Each structure stands twice: as structure tokens, then as C-alpha cells.
């Protein structure tokens, strides 16, 4: 759909309220009740256009600061909010490992380094995120089926009410542990509350009173981190 110069995607479901999300990629997604017409959605978009433009401008500014990494020894890569230097080694038993304050990448895996790093973050993420989920799950009294760490494109995490599964972006492993915990609590709160209602934020606040600080970190830094 398009309104003036704003393009957006509409996703209808059995929800009661309409929500607008401006993703880190700049994509605009509208989650709408099934009975909302295109005209009604356009009217809401039009009423929120100033806020949407402001958010798009913030994303554009953040993307301009994103670091372009060179595949050379000494380049830094993030892991749980800390930077580690990269060095190449002739041989080791795995393609990539983090030890003694360095990321060591096998020379023969240089050309596939992007895939190697993503696989590393996914594997380490499944262990670490599962650990954090279990910690907060007991505090929040919620249940789920499975946890997946994958490429989510424009979201840090998601919860599927249909499958009762939690999914997290591998980029979560680039954020500091307190920010990772916010992402975890955010998704666990969605098990109780499907949208970002006042009840949802109250649930997050009960577990994490300083969640706004962590949320702001993602807002100001999230678009700029990556490989």
C-alpha cells in the first residue's frame, strides 16, 4: 500500500487494535484487525505521518554511522556488546572461535567469513539466549514450545501465538547483555499480551523497571550494528 510517499505493508489478524511499526530497515508495517478497511488504515497512517517521518529520519541518520568492516587482521567485531579484534590463523579445529580476547578465523574460511560469523552467532546465541529466557520465564510465569535463533531481517525477536515459538535475530548476540535481556523480556511479555498495550509495558516494567534505558540503546544503536 502507498499513501503520498509512504509505502507500507498491511498484516491483518484477529487482533483488536491497530499498530504501526517502523522497522530498522525503514520498512513500515501495519498490524491491523481483520475488519479494518484500507481507507480506515490510510486515515490512521495520515494522522501519524509526522511521527513516521521523524522515525524514518532517525533510522537514516543511524544507518549513515554504520561501520563498514574490512576483512583484515585487527578489524573489530562485536560479541555481547564488546569489541574483539580479528586475526587469521592457518589452522584450528573450527572455522571461528573467540579466545584470549581475539576472534580467530581460519584462513581457508576467509571468503565465507560472513556466513561463518553468522553461524557462530546463531550457535552461541541459542545457548546464551536459552539461558536468559529460562531465567526470566520463571519470573514471568509463561510457557513456550521452542527457541530459534535465525535471520529475522527487521526484528530483534518475535513470538508466534500459533506455534508458541520464540525467535530471536542472531544480531542479538552483538548487543550488551542487559539489552539482550530486554529483548528476551519483551518477547516473553508477548506471550501474555500480543500487542504493545499499556498492559504489555506494565508486564515488562514489573520485571525490568529500567527497560526504557535498554530500549533506547536499541533505538540509537541497533540500526548501526552488524557485520
Contact 34, 17 (CB under 8 A): no
- Note down the domain range covering 141: 111-224
134 shares a domain with 48: no
For 184-210, the pLDDT digits (tens) are 999 999 999 988 889 999 999 999 999
180 shares a domain with 125: yes
Beta bridge partners of 96: 105
Tell me, yes or no, whether 19 lies in a domain. yes
User: pTM of the predicted model, to two decimals?
Assistant: 0.76
**Cell digits of residue 71:** 576483512
For 120-172, the pLDDT digits (tens) are 999 999 999 999 999 999 999 999 999 999 998 778 999 998 899 999 999 99
Helix 177-192 to helix 113-140 angle, to the nearest 10 degrees?
Answer: 60
How many domains is the chain built from? 2
Tell me, yes or no, whether 74 lies in a domain. no
**How far, CA to CA in Å, does 205 sit from each of 63, 176, 185, 198?**
29, 19, 10, 10
Amino acid at each position: 500500500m502507498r499513501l503520498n510517499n509512504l509505502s507500507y505493508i498491511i498484516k491483518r489478524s484477529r487482533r483488536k487494535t491497530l499498530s504501526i511499526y517502523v522497522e530498522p530497515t525503514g520498512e513500515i508495517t501495519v498490524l491491523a484487525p481483520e475488519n479494518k478497511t484500507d481507507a480506515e488504515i490510510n486515515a490512521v497512517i495520515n494522522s501519524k505521518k509526522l511521527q513516521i517521518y521523524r522515525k524514518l529520519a532517525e533510522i537514516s541518520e543511524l544507518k549513515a554511522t554504520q561501520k563498514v568492516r574490512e576483512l583484515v587482521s585487527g578489524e573489530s567485531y562485536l560479541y555481547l556488546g564488546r569489541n574483539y579484534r580479528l586475526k587469521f590463523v592457518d589452522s584450528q579445529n573450527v572455522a571461528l572461535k573467540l579466545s584470549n580476547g581475539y576472534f580467530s578465523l581460519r584462513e581457508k574460511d576467509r571468503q565465507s567469513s560472513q556466513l561463518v560469523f553468522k553461524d557462530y552467532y546463531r550457535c552461541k546465541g541459542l545457548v546464551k539466549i536459552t539461558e536468559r529466557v529460562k531465567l526470566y520465564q520463571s519470573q514471568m510465569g509463561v510457557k513456550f514450545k521452542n527457541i530459534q535463533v535465525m535471520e529475522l531481517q527487521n526484528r530483534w525477536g518475535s513470538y508466534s501465538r500459533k506455534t508458541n515459538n520464540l525467535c530471536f535475530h542472531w544480531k542479538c548476540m552483538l548487543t550488551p547483555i542487559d539489552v539482550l535481556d530486554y529483548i528476551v523480556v519483551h518477547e516473553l511479555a508477548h506471550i501474555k499480551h500480543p500487542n504493545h498495550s499499556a498492559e504489555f509495558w506494565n508486564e515488562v516494567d514489573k520485571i525490568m523497571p529500567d527497560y526504557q534505558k535498554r530500549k533506547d540503546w536499541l533505538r540509537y544503536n541497533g540500526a548501526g550494528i552488524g557485520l
